Amino acid sequence: MEATHVATVINAPDAPALRDRDAQRLANGAPWRWLDAGVAFDIGVRGSGAEEAVRERLGDKRADIVVQHVAERRKKLLVADMDSTIIGQECLDELAARAGVGAEVAALTERAMRGEIDFAEALRQRVALLRGQPVALLQRTYTEAVRLNPGARTLARTMRAHGAHVALVSGGFRFFTSRVAAKAGFSSFGGNEFVVENDVLTGEVVEPILGADAKLERLRELLGELRLKADEAMALGDGANDIPMLQAAGLGIAYHAKPTVRAAARGRIDHGDLRAVLYVQGYTAADFIRD
């Protein structure tokens, strides 16, 4: 019987290179092929239940496994969260640290990302702590702290080069999403807005606040605008407010995510960098548009 699904195995970037015999052992007689020698390979499997068996054979090797249907594997739309996904920071936490309220804001961020408190209310509380800060602090924070996660530019540029729309869909702030989108090479971006008066933050957010529902709605809008089916889209995120869009997309990937998010998503990347999202779609190293 021909394989109906594919299991993609992706090695941790700092782990010893995978070898042919590692791939053969994990494939257990099934057909397999390298996507990037030593780093990632595909195994042809029959049914989505193969993941557990491959994980068991993996043992203590630090690698990710994503199993999906072969059909429409290469996505035409990616919607991605920004903070702690495309970048390695939480922008509000970094801003708050420079404003002298870092500990208070970081604690609220962590609880919101775990789904312990409502995202919108947590955002209002965090921004209120920034009341009176100069707008210039935003640019200082971006310059000093915000860095793309490894593979972010390769992910965005490779997918766009192959005809996909790549959207940054964030509950963060447009000041940051606009700059991150331009730096990484995203097709579009969104985000919340600070209320500013006389070049000072008032401690308020322009309503309505964009959270989980807005991310889901943006995914649906893009599907309609691009005339795509949900199976042709992938969502990527790490926090509780990403769960609705992760579950609505054809493939939702929890990226170095909180436990509740990992449990809710169909796929997860715990070890790899953002290039893993390309391997999952069947891109080979030769396909990558690199920095």
Query: 44 is written with which tokens?
Result: 């042809």
| Residue 15: strand, helix, or coil | coil
CA dist list (Å): 177 to 57, 173, 241: 40, 6, 17
The neighbouring-strand residues paired with 79 are 167, 235
* Active-site option among 22, 42, 83, 242: 83
* 130, 203 contact by CB (below 8 A): yes
Kindly state the DSSP code that residue 29 receives in the 8-state scheme: T
First to last CA, the chain: 41
- The verdict on whether 22 is a catalytic residue reads no
Helices (H), 100-251: 102-113, 119-128, 136-145, 152-161, 174-184, 212-226, 243-248
**Phi and psi of 110, rounded to 5°?**
-60, -45
* Active-site option among 22, 42, 81, 238: 81
- The verdict on whether 287 is a catalytic residue reads no
What does the DSSP assignment read for 198-234? TTEEEEEEPSSP--HHHHHHHHHHHHHHHT--GGGEE
Query: 187 is written with which tokens?
Result: 């097709």
Query: 219 is written with which tokens?
Result: 């995914």
Q: Which positions are catalytic?
A: 81, 83
